Amino acid sequence: MVERTLCIVKPDAFKARAAGAILSRILAAGLDVVAARVVHLTRSQAEGFYHVHRERPFFPTLVQFMTEGPVLVMVLQGDNAIQRWRDLMGPTNPAQAAPGTIRKDHGTNIERNAVHGSDAPATAAFETHYFFSDLEQIHPVIG
């Protein structure tokens, strides 16, 4: 089933100039990029995006981290894109990630783990539309 999911190259990986290498892996894995932009999130934008974690103890440091520099946000599309992107990223904690995953290769710790990806179809729908309207996403031509 063709799905869409959100990808964020977080400030740590963006600052380390790893965005190109990460994009290359995404494309090599057969996922298509249907929308992309570089943004520097404000505190309000980061809090809105991560609102589901508002009551978690790591919320303040997550917001601080996500606002400390630019990020590359992309909408990825492909068959089973959500799970394929999650497999390519690896576990949230880079110390537990398999060799060859993005988080193992570019993440530092559980908080500075290089990339974000949606975890389910409903989350992907919210997250992709948080950053991109339907008009900003490439759609297949019908007919």
Could you list the active site residues?
116
Q: What φ, ψ does residue 33 adopt, rounded to 5°?
A: -95, 115
Query: Which residues lie closer than 8 Å to 117 by C-beta, 6 or more apart?
Result: 5, 6, 7, 8, 82, 85, 86, 89
